[in-house]
A = this chain, B = another copy of it.
Amino acid sequence: MFYLIGLGLGDHKDITVKGLEIVKRCSRVYLEMYTSILGCHKEEVEAFYGRPLLLADRELVEEKTDEILAGANEEDVAFLVVGDPFGATTHTDLALRAREKKIPYKVIHNASILNAVGCCGLQLYKFGETVSIPYWDETWKPESFYEKIKFNRLHNMHTLCLLDIKVREPTVESLMRGRRQYMLPRFMTVAEAAQQLLNIVDKKDALEHNTVLNDLSMCVGLARVGSETQRIVVKTLHDMASTDLGGPLHSLVIPAKELHPLEIEYLQHYATFRLDSYNY
């Protein structure tokens, strides 16, 4: 059997009892390590699970699926994913490839940032489409995520922004030379995400006097959700751009313009200014 097992968001003890029982009896255990990261050390996890972990980077998962699935017809193989297995498209793809090869598979769900984000007090059912904010570089500065945030805001829905992660990304030069070399890992912070949004908003502002989102709009920064060091802050977009929430992973939420009184009461706890009289 091939098992796709969610690890949840905090540390090695956020795996479910069912998930842990399965991991302990698997002959091979992969840990996916490029769409998210664990909040603790690999060695700690290996000791607790009692199994060595095979690290699976993008190259392995997207180009060598056969290697991962090999033998899963006769023995148990686990593929561990931080959060829930269906949080990223590549894992859906792994399940599809298993099905193609007539390998039975099972999914063990767990918390994902998509539902755990409720910890800030915003109601989950009021979230619209989720967006991803990618790192900009010199030549590539996509703004499509802004249009989705704007759409959600105009229709009174919250937006969860997933922030870019670069782990084991080959450098462009090394790809051209045909021999992969990897960049240092990078995890976008809420400050970086807020700054990229401000850059877009400032540009729009000159054109259309931006009332949908501007530097005084309230936003929610979340870091290491589900871990002992979790942090949540509520600030203006302007102030968020200079806020340091510490180590990864970070997420940013742009709330709807109209909030429920319970949402305001909950968010107030994390805010540096009074929210009830605030014009978002």
Contact = CB atoms under 8 A, between A and B. Distances in A.
Interface size class of A (residues with CB under 8 A): 35 or more
A183 interface: no
A126 interface: yes
B110 A8 contact: yes
A128 interface: yes
A9 interface: yes
B87 A115 contact: yes
Given A13-B16, A13-B21, A129 B126 contact: yes
A198 interface: no
A35 interface: no
Contacts of A13: 16-18, 21
Interface stretch (A116-124, A206-214, A235-243, A272-280): A116-124
Contact of A89 (B21, B119, B123): B123
Interface stretch (A67-75, A91-99, A164-172): A91-99
Interface stretch (A50-58, A185-193, A261-269): A261-269
A219 to B, nearest CB: 19
Nearest to A21: B13
A248 interface: no
Interface string A1-28: 0000010111101111110110000000
B116 A84 contact: yes
Report, nearest first, the 6 A-B pairs whose CB atoms are least far apart: A86-B118, A109-B111, A125-B130, A13-B18, A112-B115, A13-B17
